[in-house]
Amino acid sequence: MNKKQYSCIIIDDDPDFLESMSTYISLIPKLKLIGSYSNHNEVLRDSQGWDQIDFLFLDIRMEVSGIDLARMIRPCFKYLIFHTSYSEFALDAFHVGGDHYLVKPFSISRLIEAVNAVLKRNRESLLPAH
């Protein structure tokens, strides 16, 4: 069995969502949360020191568009999964290198399915969805 742990970062301007997503990630042994951000300035500052992070979970509707932010920091991440309450941004998300798109609210099993779908395309696997 693959024992790799996947590093990840969450960016969302909703503190409740950041807390929920952090909890989800803590319940998935193969994911390791490196950081969570609600402020795009902190993201831009910290991204200078990031090595290749496996997953970025990024909201779209924030003070600075997640689409615009993705254009700036996409090279720092192996995989990009957008999450938003708005389905109409999906095409834009894929145009900036998004690997998957989750519409809020979503369950932990839906998160696992999304991560597994991304990993499967790259012949990796996380764990079965609940």
Residue 49 is predicted with a pLDDT of 78
Model pLDDT for residues 17-55, shown as the tens digit of each residue: 999 999 999 999 999 999 999 998 899 888 887 878 999
Residue 113 is predicted with a pLDDT of 96
Distance (Å, whole) CA 40 – CA 73: 11
In terms of C-beta density within 10 A (0-12 exposed, 13-18 middle, 19 or more buried), how is residue 63 classed? exposed
CATH code: domain 6-121 is 3.40.50.2300
Residue 9 is predicted with a pLDDT of 96
Ranges in the chain, pLDDT < 70: 1-2, 124-130
DSSP state letter for 113: H
Residue 54 is predicted with a pLDDT of 95
Could you state, in order of their start, the residue ranges of all structural domains in the chain? 6-121
